[in-house]
Amino acid sequence: MRSDRVLLSRTAIVAIGGVYLLMGLIVSSYGPLLEHLTRRFAVSLPVAGVTISVHFAASLVGVLVAMRTVTRLPARTTVMAAIGLIAIGCAGAALAPSWTSFMAAIVVIGLAFGALVLGLNQLVAYSEGTRRAALLSVLNSAYSAGEVLSPILVASLAVTRFSLLFLGAAAIAVVLVPAVSGIVGRLPVALGAPGRPGRLVLIFVLAIVLYVGIENGVGGWMTSHLESVGLRSTQAAGVTSGFWLALVTGRVLMFAMPARISEATIVLTGSAVAAVALLLASIGSIAPVAYVVAGLFIAPIFPTTIVWLARVRPGDSRATSWLYPAASIGGTIGPGAIGLVIAGFGVQFAPLVLAIVAIGMAAAFWFANRIAVTR
């Protein structure tokens, strides 16, 4: 077998889904855990909130490290090492005697997350098979499912069994390490090709920065906007949950997408519909439905874009590697930048601001498709 050919056994695919689920469970637990962290470590709520920033800052470092290791080592090495780090980090978080040691454990978890986000997506995108976009979307839906389930687990266990949450996650990670050993091969790297992204890749990077800003921006601002148009807090929170569930549903439904429909068509259609839906969310009476529709149609964009670029640049996995720092940057600065604009104009303009970002994303994808088709 060629060294630059990636094969995934059925066991490995199931295990990758388990890793995505575990990642979603952990990363979405930070918010619900903040109040518990203030009591456990005697810190203020703003200090506890640093947990989220530390995690994502460390994940960016993990992405940058994995960009080098996944092309130089066998495919499963980075994945197995990163899952092992999650086990170590979660065990450290469970047993941490102080706030400093807890933060150190979060750094370890964040590093592992960054490596896994890049490693798992890359391996599926460049693996053998004709339904890679559908497979990657379904696997990413496991991550979203973890985000939905995590607050329930935190609410049930965190008060009296804080350590058990992280010890359970560590135990699951230990089981998953050998389960991913069915990943075989190595990611392709074009010999003599520059490591720097070219114009086409940079346009894809811009589109992904905007996409992640939209996903997190909608999730962060839609509740406040819905309350401003008359919904009660419980109703607005329910619609927000519906948005996240729509993301899960949209990714699962990718398996029903006919194989003849190209990745470019899926991404461009999803981007256009999402932009229209967010514009319609400005109309208070239909805003709840519009937000859920937006979630359904943006759902396949990120995983499908990875496969799309991998198909355009099949011989060099470094091209798609640049999408992962873009995702980290979009998640870090996107919601904040959108928030500053909304703060200046008022929360009632949140859908319009988000729609403008979505239009920019759709334009970037359209331009990338023009260049790809020309090539």
pTM reported for the whole predicted model: 0.78
For the chain, list residues with pLDDT below 70.
1-4, 130, 158-160, 190-197, 315-316, 332, 335, 375
Q: Which of 359, 332, 374, 362 is nearest to 200 (CA)?
A: 374
Question: Dihedral sign, CA of 100, 104, 110, 113?
Answer: negative
pLDDT at 101: 96
pLDDT at 160: 66
- What the chain holds in terms of domains, given with CATH numbers, is 7-184 (1.20.1250.20), 199-374 (1.20.1250.20)
Report whether 218 contacts 354 (CB < 8 A): yes
What's the CA gap between 360 and 291, in Å, rounded? Answer: 18
pLDDT at 1: 44
pLDDT at 193: 52
